[in-house]
Structure 1
Amino acid sequence: MRLCTVIAVCATVLGVPQAATAAPAPDCYDRTAAVTYEESRIETPALPGGSRVPYALVEAGGFDPYVARLKRDLCRARSLPAAKRLLQRHGARLWETAVARAQGRVRMGTIDRYDDRPLYWSRLMGTRDIRQWVPRFPLGEEDRAGLLRVYEYASRGVASTRFGRGAARVLVSGFDPYQLNGEIRRSNPSGAAALQLDGLTYRDGGHTVRVQAVALPVTWSGFDAGIVEDAFGPHLTALARERADLIMTISQGNRGVMNIEQWAGAWRGGSADNNNEGEAELVPPAPRWPQPSPTPEFIETTLPYQAMVDAGTGPWPTALNPRLCEWPAGTRPAGPVQCRTDGPSPGGQAQSGGGGNYLSNESMYRSNRLRLALGAADVPGGHLHISALVYPADPLVVIDDAFAADRAATVDQTVALVQAAEKAAPRIRGAAFAR
């Protein structure tokens, strides 16, 4: 397919009408209805002399026709089933479009293809519109929440993690941008890596490997609702036709290093998420999914970390991070916190894993807690923290060449590390064509 060179052409290729020719959207929204704190950031004012960053990024990515079409089509939905079908279709189209754009199969907008932010802000505009939509039929809060979930799961890739037969299966996750109160321009290289990895198929050592990816929210409420388990669980059950051969959660960590976390802990520190919410507590049980008994305080990675370190990827050094922090037995949460690199002490209670006690730690903990509960101890699993980004010094510059190059290099190294893990995982090598 010929690469698109202007937004209008790309919109036609992807089934999204041009904004200039679309019929005016009917007025079916109550803009006084409550939105989440995260959604309220869409209207972040522009700095003097600058632009409103969320809208500028959606336009620069070529996604403004998509946002307009969802807004229009919602007003035409005549029933709850019709709305559910519509949101499934729109969510899937948004994810598929973002993946195609990221992987260079279509060219949209004016911003580089590694940029994950147009997807983030487009999705958030969609959830805001669903929340403020006034439909033609009665819609209770529970039904609206169900519609939001349909759209979220489709637009995050959770609803489309299909592998097919005859390939080794690798399932990974990245994250949305976060810490946007202090820096509205934030990208998340793990989310950008997920877009590069989703659907990636390649040959390695005589066998085919297929990777699927999802983008996780930076919200405690999203994790409480079970999105991590819903993403990984269908590929970890013993009877799953598309059982994963390796799972990896990925997030942004410290600048200048790629850390494979040795330990994930059962405690969430409660730092504010994208909704400015947070409470220090044990990681809650997952709805709809089992968990091990007793619940583990720490879970150790089973990724082939030495092979990942030895793969020699760059530009950043790769290392195993053995650090964890704990309370002595029976003293959580008031006792003295002790950090160590020689593993948990007998009876020690988790305070943080190697990557802390925020949502990145919890993504590793939840996915691997479920892996153990479902009897998938033979499936390698763990977490990769990748290098953080540095933003242009001029606050009016949304992206410059140095920022784009830094993100692309980090994302490409992330892809290489996922491939190195697959190459070394023992279960994959002999099992790919056995099923």
Structure 2
Amino acid sequence: MTEATEVGSTSGPGRTAGSDVAFLTDFAALSAFGVTDRGGVHRETATDADAAQRAWFGRWLADRGFAVAYDRVGNQFGLLERTPGAPWVLVGSHLDSQPFAGRFDGAYGVLAAAHAADRLARRRGTGANLAVVNWLNEEGSRFEPSMMGSAVFAGGLDREAALDTRDGAGVRLGDRLAELGQLGDDDVLTLDDVAGYAEIHIEQGRELEDAGRTVGLVEATWAARKYDLTVTGEQSHTGSTVMADRRDALLGASELVVLARELTERLSTADSPLHTSVSRLTVAPNSPVTVAREVRMNLDLRSPDEDLLERADTLLHERIPAISEHARVEVGVSGSHAWGVRPFPAAGVALARRCAEDLGLSHRTMLTIAGHDSVNLNAHVPTIMLFVPSEQGISHNERESTADDDVCAGVDLLTAVLDRLAAGDPVR
């Protein structure tokens, strides 16, 4: 595991009051879409709230001279062609959210990207072309899998398969995007057009806050293994069915939930942590007087130590037969999705470090535990990933928050990074 490093003061120059106010005002406007009673947002992919914010963002871009377009999977682009024939530098994140989630996850990075590109457009008119992107369905809460739009763009997911995805109510993603007028006929950009990609995001942890650092320079992502599990039992009466005769799918699912936590307690160390979770259960028939016949669930293993992750994966599969036997159920494992520890280009981390130091921003080299659209881009184009702190490490929660000074410092850093990428500074 790579040790985090830190340097610098806790604040620095480089912003103007006007630019800060402009960003914070726009962020407040963006945060009104899908706002919840507790001050979070609820705007899953292709909901009315998501469609409305995308329309608002398109108008914001158009008003500042960007050409706005959707590609063939619904990724939203704002294009600023400064030098015809020059390569494009891409910058962005995602606007969709988890259910009843926070305002900052994804949306901060999209708006920061737009402000950074707009600032550069006002400074000079030459250099690489700039493209701001709002990736489709990063969260994967309504339509699976997550990071969908960037995966299609990067060639890791078939476009038609993505558009054929249906939500729990049977709504087809492609049909919904077409209905909203947010599905294009062209690619807009391809990987071959992109000279580099940058993304800024809230940390979603508390490493930066604990260390008193303003920005994080991401050098790699944790490894992960994700599974779709189906536990199959037999439907019966909750009262009259003899206990020995029951084949309770929910019992088997519950034992898998406990197993996931036991793996962490057994294998995790301070130097090689293991994060495990079961994030969703779909129970059938989900009736109050009926033993469940089926449970579908997602199980997630993550670690910066690939050997430890392999041991956890092995133990998981070794224990499943015993759970099946005890609960008298069948456990099916499908939909395996995995990636290893993926480093970001060292030259890109160094470039971001120079920018942070020029701005006087305290910084810390670190890993990302969560997946981001940058992970999909990183395998194909020079990619830089940046973090700003999350207060108390809270994320995917309506209480998610980041201080104004930190979000504004992050926009400054992203602007400086984007400026150097557009000028052709090497990232690899």
Band the TM-score falls in, shorter-chain normalisation:
0.3 to 0.5
Relative contact order, higher structure (CA 8 A, sep 6+): 2
TM score, norm. by length of structure 1: 0.42
Q: Which has the higher strand share?
A: 2
